[in-house]
Structure 1
Amino acid sequence: MPQPRSHDIRRGRYSEAGRSYLLTTVTHQRRSLFHDFHHARLVIQQLRRCELERSCRSLAWVVMPDHVHWLIELKALPLGEVMRRFKARSSLALHRAGVPSQRVWQAGYHDRALRREEDVLHVARYIVANPVRAGLVRSVREYSHWDAVWL
């Protein structure tokens, strides 16, 4: 079986301040770390910290049991640096909370730059409806690990 080559994903990646990006990152070996309410809230704190630092503006996000979807408008930092900081800080917070000292996140992440004409609100709705599509809840209102600026 061929080895994953996350560095190939980065080839051609370009960060543009002011552009909206849909980001997805997955836990190492798809472990369901965020079924635990406290662990999910620690990750959410780190999403918010990135916004407080003005490296991005969070438009919508959802923390699923084994992954995160995050719609941002990029600000001061390159995309890779925003994700590096988020993943490093959330890993540290989780380890301090008692998650075993092993990898929290898989290497790399998926990003998609939204075209200017794309409906950002449509993408945000898709993100926050993820727990419903996954069968975790019947209604978005029943899930506590999401947010969107349009509320």
Structure 2
Amino acid sequence: MPPSLPVHDRPAAGFRRVRLERRSVPGQTYLLSVATLYRRPVFTDDDAARAVCRVHTAQWPWRDSAVLAWVLMPDHWQGLVTLGERDSLSTLVGRFKSLTSRAVEDRHRVNGWLWAKGFTDRVLGKAEPAMDAARHLVGLPLRAGLVRRLGDYAYWNTAWLDGTEP
């Protein structure tokens, strides 16, 4: 009979740790990513991109969560969000996907679907300043070669633009 593994070395402990990290924690800041269905470049169409951007201007879809920064790339959306008390990550992302799907024209959906199933998330580390994460996020269009200057890309925003701390 093989020797018993210490509790921290057992596979179940690792899986449990992953599940805990993916849990929705109010007040925690997350980097979120949502891809279009089949990674289609839907948002090269300005009307579709503007429709999704308009959802960001309303407070009610986010409720008590705070969107610190976001960028809409041709085939996905990424955001830096501090989760509020009233929603889980799944609920918040589901609401965003639902509202934005209805906002774009039918021709951009496949059998009614705009977004791929699920989303990815990463907890922002305690030592990782949110402003640095926001800078990295909004710099994606530059690094992807979509524009030469960030000011030439219209589909992003950050809470730090007005010079105050969110």
TM-score range, shorter chain: 0.7 to 0.9
Asked if 2 retains the 8 angstrom alpha-carbon contact of 1:32 and 1:66, the reply is: yes
Cα distance in 1 for residues equivalent to 2:57 and 2:76: 16
Take 2:89 and 2:56, find their aligned partners in 1: how far apart are those partners?
Answer: 14
1:52 to 52, 60, 63: 60
Letter in 1 for 2:43: F
Partner of 2:36: 27
Q: Which residue of 2 aligns with 1:107?
A: 117
* Structure 2 unaligned blocks of 5 or more: 1-17, 162-166
The correspondence for 1:119, drawn from 103, 126, 129, is 129
Render the CA deviation track for 1:87-108: whole Å, top value 9, x for unaligned.
Answer: 1111112145x43453211111
SS of structure 1 residue aligned to 2:108: coil
Q: Which residue, 112, 129, 138 being the options, matches 2:148?
A: 138
Residues in 2 aligned to 1:11 and 1:117: alpha-carbon distance in whole angstroms: 22
Q: Which amino acid aligns with 2:60?
A: L
Partner of 1:39 in structure 2?
48
Structure 1 vs Structure 2: percent identity of aligned residues?
A: 37
Tell me the residue number matched to 1:15. Answer: 24
Tell me the distance in 2 between the aligned counterparts of 1:74 and 1:100.
28
SS at match of 2:104: helix
- Give 1 or 2 for the bigger CA radius of gyration: 2
Q: Give the alignment's TM-score, normalised by structure 1.
A: 0.85
**Alignment match, 2:14:** none
Number of aligned residue pairs: 140
Which runs of 5 or more structure 1 residues have no equivalent in the other structure? 1-9
* TM-score calculated relative to the size of structure 2: 0.78
- Cα root mean square deviation, aligned: 1.7
